[in-house]
Amino acid sequence: MTLDPSEGPARDFIEFVVKAIVDNPDDVSVEQTVDDLGVLITLKVSKEDMGKIIGKSGQTAKALRVLLRMMGAKHDARYNLKIIEPEGSMV
């Protein structure tokens, strides 16, 4: 089964996981763009939640990216995660 990357299964997955982790789920914004290089998932969270998304030594962010790569490998798509640092955050 091959998923159409433009339909957003990776976007929905990241949004679900991130909202379960953060203290301010209403501040979570996940956007998806598709181009020749693959699918770019852009994540924005409140500055208070940035540390939870990055994790100790970047472990949480790395885990999210690994899961996206696994999803992409299964469905013949290339997914990338970009985490936008909010202004004033100290991560």
- pLDDT tens, residue order, the chain (91 aa): 445 555 678 999 999 999 999 999 999 999 999 988 899 999 999 999 999 999 999 999 999 999 999 999 998 889 999 999 887 656 5
Q: Is residue 27 part of a domain?
A: yes
Close Cβ partners of 79 (under 8 Å, ≥ 6 residues apart): 5, 10, 38, 39, 41, 68, 69, 71, 72
Work out the end-to-end distance of the chain between its first and last CA atoms, rounded to an integer number of angstroms. 39
Entry pTM = 0.84
Structural domains in the chain (count): 1
Q: Is residue 18 part of a domain?
A: yes
Task: Identify the pLDDT of residue 6.
Answer: 55
Do the Cβ atoms of 38 and 4 come closer than 8 Å?
A: no
Task: Identify the pLDDT of residue 83.
Answer: 97
SS3 66: helix
Q: Is residue 89 part of a domain?
A: no
